[in-house]
Structure formats: structure tokens, C-alpha cells
Amino acid sequence: MTNIILFGPPGSGKGTQATKLAEKYNLIHISTGDLFRYEMGNDTPLGLEAKSFIDKGELVPDSVTIGMLENKMNKHPEANGFILDGFPRTIKQSEALDEIFANKNMAISALLSLDVNKEELVKRLLERGKTSGRADDVDPEIISNRISVYHEQTAPVYNYYDKKDLSKTIDGIGSIEEIFDRLCNAISA
């Protein structure tokens, strides 16, 4: 069983690469951001709660996000493995994830972190904002806040898994295929 955390700042290419990796390795792709956007699109209570944080570029409270992730994983008992895109984003989420996996007798295989500089991230997010319909991709201040939140609350997750010898940094600059090859090489290694 292969369970990958695809890690990196907003705009680093997690969604694009997770989709490709899920197909190649037959994994269930879980994007917590996409799950929130689905709930927001349907105006559910969860969506309305999440929206107040997402529109500002802040993180949704851990208990909400962890519950949603666990629910989604539980819907796939047949899974060959998971690729988590956008989760965990805090140390609390990492600890909860370890517990969820331990209870299922499963383990994280690797955390792969896409390394992209801030200038390129802002450029990509503004470009995506032209068509994504995402309010958080349009305003440069919100984009900047998302990147700050990443450095303050999410970056420590890399070290958390590095201590378990699971973290690896992947150069996230290049063509989609080049980056995909780097990720596949890291998974095979």
C-alpha cells in the first residue's frame, strides 16, 4: 500500500500532480480544498463555516478539517492507497492523521514537498485566478496571506515527517511532465 502526502505552498502544483499520481499508482486522491469547495458550492453548514476562513486565506479549524478528511477516507475501505493533497496543514492535523492511519493499520509512505519560490507561486495563482472562480486566487493580499500562513503553520509539518525520515523535497519548477517524473522517481526510490 502506498500513501503519499503531497506537500507544498499554495500554487506549487499539488492538485495537478496528485491527479496524475493517483491515476498512475491507482490511489484515491483526496484534496481537502476541493472537498471544502464542494461543500461551499452546495451551501452546506460545513461549507458556510469553511468559507469564512477560506475567503480570507486562513486555515479552517483543525477539528473541522480532520473530521472531513476522516469521513472521506472511511468511504474508501477498498483503497489501494491514498494521495493527500492539502492535508495535513498543521502539526495537529499531522498527529490526527498518524492516529487515523495507526487505527487502520496503515502508514504514510512519504511526504513529497514541491519547492517553488514565492514569485512563481504568486504568478501561478494570479494566472489560475483568471479562470478558477476561486475568490482566494484573485486578490494579491489574500494570496500573500495564504503563503504566510503556509510558512507559519504548515511548513513545520515537513519537519514533523522529516524526523520520521519520510520527507523529501522535489524541485517544483519545470514542465508538468518534468515535475511528474521527479515525483515518480522519488516514489520508486
Give the residue carrying C-alpha cell 518534468.
178
Question: Is 37 one of the annotated active-site residues of the chain?
Answer: no
Beta bridge mates, 168? 112
Residue 68 engages ligand C5P in binding (rule: CB under 6 A): no
Report residue 163 as a C-alpha cell: 524526523
The stretch near ligand C5P (CB under 6 A) out of 17-25, 55-63, 102-110, 112-120 is 55-63
What are phi and psi for residue 82, nearest 5 degrees? -125, 150
Question: Is 134 one of the annotated active-site residues of the chain?
Answer: yes
Question: Is 146 one of the annotated active-site residues of the chain?
Answer: yes
Q: Which residue is nearest to ligand C5P (CB)?
A: 33
Which entry of 92, 104, 118, 134 is annotated as an active-site residue?
134
Which entry of 14, 20, 37, 124 is annotated as an active-site residue?
14
User: Rg of the chain over CA atoms, in angstroms?
Assistant: 16
CA-CA distance, 32 to 15, in Å (whole number)? 10
Residue 15 engages Mg ion in binding (rule: CB under 5 A): yes
Min dist CB 124 to Mg ion, Å, is 11
CA-CA distance, 160 to 154, in Å (whole number)? 10
Binding-site size for Mg ion (CB under 5 A) equals 2
Beta bridge mates, 85? 6, 31
Residue 60 engages ligand C5P in binding (rule: CB under 6 A): yes
Residues 144-163 that bind ligand C5P (CB under 6 A): 146
The stretch near Mg ion (CB under 5 A) out of 13-21, 51-59, 116-124, 170-178 is 13-21
Q: Is the CB of residue 153 less than 8 Å from the CB of residue 61? A: no
Q: Which residues are catalytic?
A: 14, 89, 128, 134, 146
